[in-house]
């Protein structure tokens, strides 16, 4: 599906951003608009700070900031990144770094301001829009997050993770058809990446389209043959499609890859029980019991979902 981009990239970037913000805010509910305004409070000081810091000092400030972050010293990191901005107020790297640090300090409204500054200064770069989308999504502003993810995907169409986040947020917002389309494009972009096949399979499973889900989960196991979780998920999809021998095979593979996971033994035992292989089922129930605690909520959810899919 070809994405249409409603904004001109060659216009003045400051006007471009203002137009985008107005369009987004007009589309919000009053509750969403209030939450957005709370994140971009007007008491944030100007980003274009006067300073006599030499540009060559920015690299040292970046190194110091990264070291502080590694030590958990977020305030010190922010101070270092401020020196980067003082050396070059238009630096994309500096604004992204300080915004990320503000997020760690639970100061999202300041992070948003810096991401926006980065977007204004570098209108052809996708990263600021993607990170804005991440912040908005975190606070439940899904419509605004989708708008930012769309910009990121438009500016970097070959980045599968950007498209994945757009698809996931569209799905959460109830825009199912486009979510599936975007996730399929993501899979096309990164066709040998198991994770994206798994993600598409998970979407199909949530829609109870289990045949399609099983197909994508199988591809995930092909591209990540040593991932036990993908094998277990494939087994669950086969349970939904009533392909019990295939389900048992997938669970056995998960057990071969991770023999100490009791949940896999429980799922295989349940499958054997459905197949009438009582002795095999009993053996794996015992094995699961010897391994200790299992994820009872996970196993119970699988059992309930499989039962509902048979209704």
Residue 115 has pLDDT above 70, yes or no: yes
Long-range residue pairs from 97-103, CB within 8 A, at least 24 positions apart, any chain: 97/62, 97/65, 97/66, 99/131, 100/131, 101/65, 101/69, 101/74, 101/77, 102/78, 103/135
Q: pLDDT, tens digit, for every residue of 227-274?
A: 999 999 999 999 999 999 999 999 999 999 999 988 899 899 999 999
Helix or strand (DSSP H, E) at 182 = helix 176-189
Q: pLDDT, tens digit, for every residue of 21-68?
A: 434 544 666 676 666 555 554 434 444 455 566 666 777 888 888 888
Residue 89 has pLDDT above 80, yes or no: yes
Lowest average pLDDT, out of 98-112, 113-127, 173-187, 292-306, goes to 292-306
Most confident range (mean pLDDT) of 9-23, 30-44, 96-110, 170-184 is 170-184
Calpha distance 204→42 (Å, rounded): 43
Backbone angles phi, psi at 182, to 5 degrees: -70, -35
CA distances for 192 relative to 22, 227, 232, angstroms: 40, 14, 20
Place of tokens 């990121």: 152
Same topology between domain 6-124 and domain 226-311: yes
Orientation of helix 176-189 relative to helix 160-172, angle to 10°: 160
Residue 210 has pLDDT above 90, yes or no: yes
Average pLDDT for residues 285-289, to the nearest whole number?
86
Tokens of 255: 């057990």
Average pLDDT for residues 272-284, to the nearest whole number?
93
Residue 196 has pLDDT above 90, yes or no: yes
Lowest average pLDDT, out of 96-110, 138-152, 175-189, goes to 96-110
* CATH code 1.25.40.10 for 6-124: yes
Domain limits, the chain: 6-124, 226-311
Query: Could you tell me if 111 and 40 are in contact, meaning their C-beta atoms sit under 8 angstroms apart?
Result: no
Query: Could you tell me if 264 and 228 are in contact, meaning their C-beta atoms sit under 8 angstroms apart?
Result: yes
Q: Residue 211 has what pLDDT?
A: 96
Calpha distance 245→295 (Å, rounded): 23
292 against 169, higher pLDDT:
169
Place of tokens 């926006």: 116
CA distances for 16 relative to 40, 117, 176, angstroms: 18, 12, 29
Which CATH architecture fits 226-311? Alpha Horseshoe (1.25)
């Amino acid at each position: 599906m070809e994405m249409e981009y409603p904004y001109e990239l060659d216009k003045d970037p400051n006007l471009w951003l203002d137009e985008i913000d107005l369009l987004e805010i007009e589309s919000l509910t009053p509750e969403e608009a209030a939450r957005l305004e709370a994140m971009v409070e007007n008491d944030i000081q100007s980003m274009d700070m006067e300073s006599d810091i030499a540009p060559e000092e920015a690299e040292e400030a970046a190194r110091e900031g990264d070291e502080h972050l590694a030590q958990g010293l977020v305030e010190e990191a922010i101070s270092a990144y401020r020196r980067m901005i003082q050396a070059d107020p238009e630096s994309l790297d500096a604004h992204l770094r300080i915004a990320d640090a503000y997020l760690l300090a639970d100061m999202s409204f300041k992070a948003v301001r810096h991401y926006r500054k980065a977007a204004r200064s570098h209108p052809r770069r996708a990263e600021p829009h993607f990170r804005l989308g991440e912040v908005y999504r975190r606070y439940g502003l899904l419509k605004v997050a989708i708008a930012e993810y769309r910009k990121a995907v438009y500016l970097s169409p070959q980045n599968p993770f950007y498209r994945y986040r757009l698809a996931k947020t569209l799905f959460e917002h109830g825009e199912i058809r486009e979510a599936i389309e975007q996730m399929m494009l993501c899979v096309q972009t990164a066709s040998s990446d198991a994770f994206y096949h798994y993600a598409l399979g998970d979407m199909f499973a949530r829609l109870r389209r289990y045949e399609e889900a099983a197909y994508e989960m199988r591809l995930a196991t092909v591209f990540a043959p040593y991932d036990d979780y993908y094998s277990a998920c494939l087994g669950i999809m086969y349970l939904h499609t009533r392909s019990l021998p295939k389900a048992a095979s997938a669970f056995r593979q998960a057990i071969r890859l991770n023999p100490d996971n009791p949940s896999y033994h429980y799922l295989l035992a349940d499958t054997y029980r459905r197949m009438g292989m009582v002795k095999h089922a009993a053996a794996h129930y015992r094995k699961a019991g010897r391994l200790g605690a299992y994820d009872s909520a996970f196993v119970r959810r699988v059992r309930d979902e499989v039962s509902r899919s048979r209704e």
